[in-house]
Amino acid sequence: MTPAEELRGALAAMGLDLPEARQAQLLAFIALLQKWNRTYNLTAIRDEREMLTHHLLDSLSLLPVLEKSALTGRRWADVGSGAGLPGIPLAIACPELSMTSIETVEKKAAFQRQAKIELGLGNFTVENRRVEDMPGGGFDAVVSRAFAELPDFVRLAGHLRAPCGRLYAMKGVLPEDEIKRLPNGWILHEALPLRVPGLDAQRHLLVIEKA
């Protein structure tokens, strides 16, 4: 099975109907990540199919569980995005949202800037700075995939949230201890199980709100 066929089947299993052009962009992103990874060591995963499952599909897994209102016309921030995950896959799959990636490591931010150019992502912006140095209140949604424990995520990135905005933390096994240590004034709104085809591991999306 080719990567294109594997991606098509996985997206169908997730209930995601993406045009062929966007699927081609997603595969081009993986190819670019592989190319840069050989020199800059952006991710420990080297195999193309593992990248497709563990990075691409995992990043997209939150889409089936989110309401369309959380995406259309919304301003998203991806905090500590590394190689642009989940920000770049989300920006490709949802051109109707505005995605800002916040990454402190220059080589990773440089890769993201190149991906923006090569993939033609007009709805994607890269900020090469610390999240706590970003001005506050500018985003309807703030997402993290491998950034920090929940208390630190809220403490460092909570100010980015616009009024009525939410924080979204992508996690593996439900982190009960982290949830108990959420800072005062913040609550877990819901914990949504995520399904990633080909990945035999628990995944959850934690939705955090101001109390």
Alpha carbon distance 1, 9 (integer Å): 10
Whole-number mean pLDDT of the chain? 96
For residue 172, what is the enclosing H or E element? none
Q: What is the pLDDT of residues 126-184, one digit of tens each?
A: 999 999 999 999 999 999 998 899 999 999 999 999 999 999 999 999 999 999 999 99
CATH of the domain at 100: 3.40.50.150
Alpha carbon distance 153, 161 (integer Å): 12
How much is the pLDDT for 48? 84
Q: Model-level pTM? A: 0.96
In degrees and rounded to multiples of 5, residue 104 shows phi and psi of: -80, -25
Assess whether the previous peptide bond of 3 is cis (omega < 30° from 0).
Answer: no
How much is the pLDDT for 121? 98
Q: By residue range, what is the domain housing residue 194?
A: 3-210
Is pLDDT above 90 for 41? no
Count: domains in the chain: 1
Q: What is the pLDDT of residues 102-131, one digit of tens each?
A: 999 999 999 999 999 999 999 999 999 999
